[in-house]
Amino acid sequence: MSRQSTGSAFTKSKTLDNKYMLGDEIGKGAYGRVYKGLDLENGDFVAIKQVSLENIAQEDLNIIMQEIDLLKNLNHKNIVKYLGSLKTKSHLHIVLEYVENGSLANIIKPNKFGPFPESLVAVYIAQVLEGLVYLHEQGVIHRDIKGANILTTKEGLVKLADFGVATKLTEADVNTHSVVGTPYWMAPEDHSGK
């Protein structure tokens, strides 16, 4: 989170519950759009995931609520922080820590910065692994690690995001072989069913 001038991103914005100002769209996913927001109490930028409640299947809403429940209990430097949620008649708004540099997928796009240095790859991988170790210690499996779900701060800190398909592991789950994730980012053994 950071305090900066609000600039033009909030000139035509909408206020949520007199707590947050909704700014420009910064991303979208399976269940909604993500906006840059402004916390009106402290001036910090936040990310606000907006999920439309119109025509949403109960199963999809359950997945979103599971994501919120998981995030509420996670506290680690390499995990995006959950800050709260607001519900209106038409939308559920999930308020998260704003990670200003965006996704690793955008940073490593071809021709954006040229070849990606191995030393930086090592730094990012080490941080991703720290986040994953923490998650596994909490009994959480992310199940969708990919460039779009790895965010970076301006200081170079990596944060894992998007826990929509994450799950809490129990002993009963150890032998379950349900496959979820993004195909080109999944481990080969997930595709082969081993």
In total, the chain counts a number of residues equal to 194
Count other C-beta atoms under 10 Å from residue 93's C-beta: 21
DSSP string, 100-149: TT-BHHHHTSTTTSSSPPHHHHHHHHHHHHHHHHHHHHTTEE----SGGG
- Ligand-binding annotation for 14, yes or no, is no
Can you say whether the dihedral through the CA atoms of 38, 40, 42, 47 is positive or negative?
Answer: negative
Choose the catalytic residue: 24, 44, 144, 173: 144
User: Strands across the sheet with 45-52, in order?
Assistant: 14-16, 20-29, 32-39, 45-52, 91-97, 82-87
Active-site annotation holds for 44:
no
Annotated binding site: 49
Annotated binding site for ATP: 49
> So which residues are the catalytic ones?
144
